[in-house]
Amino acid sequence: MNKVIHTDFQNQSSEITAIIENFATQGTLFIDGKRNKIKLFELGGTTVNVKSFKVPNVVNKLVYRFFRKSKAQRSYEFANILLEKGIGTPQPIAYFEHKAALSLQDSYYMSEQLEADLTFRQLIEIPDYPEHEIILRQFTQFTFKLHEKGIAFLDHTPGNTLIKKVGHEQYEFFLVDLNRMQFHSQMSLEQRVINMAKLTPEEHLITVMSDEYAKLYGCTYEAVLKPMIKHTQYFANRFHRKRAIKRKLGLRKN
């Protein structure tokens, strides 16, 4: 088992290792996905979040063993980069990789558990959520800050931003599910819009986000809105096509 533990948690190395070694039989199940599983554990009075990544097939086991960093390693490294750049994400603690001679079997990423008030998904699903537009505009400001720092969060989707209220009409945002990111010296408006386009196809949300982003970027409202509509429709159509194909293949029930 290969492991890397953050310098701030070196004094808890044995406890951290024990958590990983006992992942299958201990901990509280938080998310039970098809390929990945998240459990919560106690570490010295702090609740930690451990994500177990399964490598789905023989080819990927070989690729992740020799040619590509594991999802756990990328999650850990990207979390540290985000914090260095002043972007919110739960504190990274460690990552572990279980490697055989010719393959990566599985890997684990541990971070502090962050108790949020809501996710961006809930903001979409609850249009009358208190201070809805305030949160939406502050989220757009957060996204603009990401782009200004050259960060393209490739999984910038509704469930991957945690939102926490920190004061009167003030919110902070934290990225999770970090293993897919790109870093640029600068990003064009087209790159920025594409990066936001997976968030929602809801027109009333797109209009508010486009208005706020245009003000921050210093361009016209239409310069953001038109490509936003185009790209959100593209991603929405692609999503529904994929679901239809899976349904025909019997991989989805509904």
- 99 and 22 inside one domain: yes
Q: Which residue has the higher pLDDT, 33 or 52?
A: 52
Is residue 6 very low, low, confident or very high in pLDDT (cuts 50, 70, 90)?
Answer: very high
DSSP string, 140-165: HHHHHHHHHTTEEETT--GGGEEEEE
- 130 and 217 inside one domain: yes
pLDDT of res. 42: 97
- 58 and 143 inside one domain: no
Dist. CA 118–CA 161, nearest whole Å: 9
Question: Is the residue at 85 inside a domain?
Answer: yes
57-77 tens-digit pLDDT: 666 666 656 667 889 999 999
Q: Evaluate if residue 32 carries a pLDDT over 50.
A: yes
- 27 and 100 inside one domain: yes
- 150 and 83 inside one domain: no
Question: What is the residue range of 137's domain?
Answer: 118-244
- 126 and 230 inside one domain: yes
Three-class SS state of 30: strand
- 140 and 88 inside one domain: no
pLDDT of res. 101: 66
Dist. CA 86–CA 31, nearest whole Å: 28
Dist. CA 253–CA 243, nearest whole Å: 10
pLDDT of res. 249: 47
Mean pLDDT value of segment 243-253: 51
pLDDT of res. 47: 98
Average pLDDT, the chain: 89
Mean pLDDT value of segment 29-46: 92
Q: Which residue has the tokens 């177990």?
A: 52
Q: Which CA distances in Å does 127 have to 72, 154, 163, 238? A: 35, 25, 15, 25
Of 56, 79, 112, which residue sits at a domain end? 112
- 171 and 207 inside one domain: yes
What are φ and ψ of residue 234, in 5° steps? Answer: -60, -50
Mean pLDDT value of segment 1-10: 94
**In what side-by-side order are the strands of the sheet with 170-175?**
118-119, 161-167, 170-175
The pTM score is 0.88
Of 112, 129, 147, which residue sits at a domain end? 112
Exposed/middle/buried for 250, CB within 10 Å: 0-12, 13-18, 19+?
exposed
Q: Which of 32-36, 83-87, 110-114, 208-212 has the lowest mean pLDDT?
A: 32-36
Q: Which CA distances in Å does 113 have to 84, 88, 127, 221? A: 19, 13, 27, 38
pLDDT of res. 65: 66
90-137 tens-digit pLDDT: 999 999 998 776 668 889 999 999 999 999 999 999 999 999 999 999
**In angstroms, how far is the first alpha carbon of the chain from the final one?**
40
- 128 and 108 inside one domain: no
Q: Which of 4-8, 119-123, 206-210, 242-246 has the lowest mean pLDDT?
A: 242-246
- Which residue, among 240, 232, 202, 31, has the nearest Cα to 125 in the 3D structure? 202
Total structural domains in the chain?
A: 2
Helix ranges (H only) for the chain are: 13-21, 58-66, 71-84, 120-125, 132-148, 189-196, 203-217, 221-248
